Amino acid sequence: MGRTITNESYVADVRRRVVDISTRMLNGSLPFLDGALELASLHHDAAVDERDRDFLIFAGIASEIDDLPVGRARQFWLKEALIAHQPKIDAATEWAERIGRAACTSLIDRFQQRGSP
C-alpha cells in the first residue's frame, strides 16, 4: 500500500529537500544561484515564518538575479547571450555565496535529521 501524505510528512519532505539543496550548494555540486532559486521557492512549503531570515536571504538573491540566465530558464537562452551574461553571472555567484553560505549552514543545522526547527 502507498504512503499517506499528511501535512507533517509533506513539510518534513520539503525540509529534507532544503537540507539536500543547501548541502549541495555548499559542496559545489549544485550551482549556488540555481540552489538559491530553489530555496526561495520552498520558503512557504517549509512551513517557517514568512520573515524567516535564512529564507529571506534566498528570496533576496532570487530577486536580484531574475534577469540572469540561471536555473531552468538557462536552457532557453541563446549561446551568445549566455556568453555575454557570464561575467554578470560570475559576479552574482560570488555575491550570493558571500551572503548565502551562512544561511545554507543554518538551514542544514535546523532541519537535518529531525526535519523541523
Grid coordinates representing 117 are: 526547527
Residue with cell 535546523: 110
- For residue 107, give the nearest of 61, 44, 70, 54 by alpha carbon: 54
Convert the pLDDT of each residue in 61-105 to its tens digit: 999 999 999 988 889 999 999 999 999 999 999 999 999 999 999
- Residue 101 burial (C-beta neighbours within 10 Å; 0-12, 13-18, 19+): middle
Domain ranges of the chain: 7-111
Q: 116 pLDDT exceeds 70?
A: no
Convert the pLDDT of each residue in 8-66 to its tens digit: 999 999 999 999 999 999 999 999 999 999 999 999 999 999 999 999 999 999 999 99
